[in-house]
Amino acid sequence: MKKVINNPLSLIGLMIIVLISVLAIFANLLSPFDPNFINIDSILTAPNHIHWMGTDALGRDVLSRMLHGAQISLLVGIVAVGISTLIGIILGSISGYYRGIVDATIMRIVDIMLSIPSFFLILAVIAFLTPSIWNIMIVIGLTSWMGVTRLVRAEFLSLNQRDFVMAAKTSGASDLRIILTHLLPNSLGPIIVSTVLGVASAVLIESGLSFLGLGVQAPTASWGNILTDGKEYIQFAWWLSLFPGLAILVTVLGYNLLGEGLRDNFDQNS
């Protein structure tokens, strides 16, 4: 961790993530207005000393909606990646440990899933479901596990012939014990990196779905649907597109910088 802190880019990424997480956690306290309060006297007001990020077409305060949107975007990203990581660890562990026909079957399923563009696969599934926060999280998680599976499998194949694993097998340790106490702990580095980078990807996907109207539904605020509201007024209400766009950009950049720093750290220690 010290190496990550000493890496300027990783430190910037960590600071960005911490800042946005704090803003999201305390959004209810920090929001100057109710994010869904409609004020017809302040429709499309430019940023000023009262509304720091202006207002939208319904007179709602953009800053308040941005803060509450951070809660939604980060929640979707973290939960979706948690689901995909869990699935990837389970399937990757089974594939890398048992190999043979089990490995071949799981890898063919992974190949089939990877042959379908992820975003279009998500769009196809979402089209048959009611758009909601929970459905978005589950669908993103269930369609994003392939990379983690291949990563865990590769780590297990590499570790399977190590002396400490062979010793555990010789001593009569169960397969589950070997996986949980010997193989998985030694594979955590790449998994952590993949998880951090996966959050950035999930935030982008959620924002894209919400922008298309297939994600988080109004009046709940998310960065994606704030962007959608702004596209009709982009010529004279620039703030409706600028601020959510910057929030998505900075958040994704923060997770990518931290992920790259963690990767460099684990590579140097390996």
Residue type, 126: I
Task: Say what the pLDDT of residue 15 is.
Answer: 93
Query: Is residue 44 assigned to a domain?
Result: no
For position 119, which CATH number holds?
A: 1.10.3720.10
Name the residue with tokens 């077409």.
57
Task: Say what the pLDDT of residue 6 is.
Answer: 67
Greatest alpha-carbon span in the chain: 77
Query: Is residue 42 assigned to a domain?
Result: no
DSSP code per residue over 180-219? IIIITGGGHHHHHHHHHHHHHHHHHHHHHHHHTTSSSPTT
Task: Say what the pLDDT of residue 7 is.
Answer: 73
User: pLDDT tens digits, residue range 86-121?
Assistant: 999 999 999 999 988 999 999 999 999 888 887 787
Residues 259, 190 contacting (CB under 8 angstroms): no
Task: Say what the pLDDT of residue 230 is.
Answer: 85
Residues 192, 62 contacting (CB under 8 angstroms): no
35 phi, psi to nearest 5 deg: -65, -20
Query: Is residue 12 assigned to a domain?
Result: yes
Task: Say what the pLDDT of residue 268 is.
Answer: 64
Of 267, 264, 269, 250, nearest to 10 by C-alpha is 264
Give residue 186's Cα distance to chain centre: 24
| Residue ranges, the chain, pLDDT below 50 | none
Q: Which pairs with CB-CB distance under 8 Å and at least 24 residues apart come from 46-52?
A: 46/237, 46/239, 47/239
**Cross-strand pairs, 186:** none
Both tokens of 267, joined, read: 């590579």
| DSSP label of 22 | H
Of 219, 209, 163, 178, nearest to 36 by C-alpha is 219
Its domain, for residue 21, covers: 8-30+53-269
- Asked if the peptide bond before residue 219 counts as cis, ω within 30 degrees of 0, the response is yes
Residues 246, 230 contacting (CB under 8 angstroms): no
**For the whole model, what pTM was predicted?**
0.88
User: pLDDT tens digits, residue range 219-256?
Assistant: 888 898 888 888 888 888 899 999 999 999 999 999 99
Alpha carbon separation from 24 to 17, 135, 170, 252 (Å, rounded): 10, 21, 50, 15
Query: Is residue 163 assigned to a domain?
Result: yes
167 three-state secondary structure: helix
Contacts of 95 (CB under 8 A, 6+ apart): 102, 103, 106, 107, 149, 152, 153, 156
Of 98, 139, 107, nearest to 121 by C-alpha is 139
Query: Is residue 41 assigned to a domain?
Result: no
Report the sign of the C-alpha dihedral through residues 122, 128, 130, 134, in that order. Answer: negative
Query: Is residue 37 assigned to a domain?
Result: no
Query: Is residue 230 assigned to a domain?
Result: yes
Query: Is residue 166 assigned to a domain?
Result: yes
| Domains of the chain: total | 1
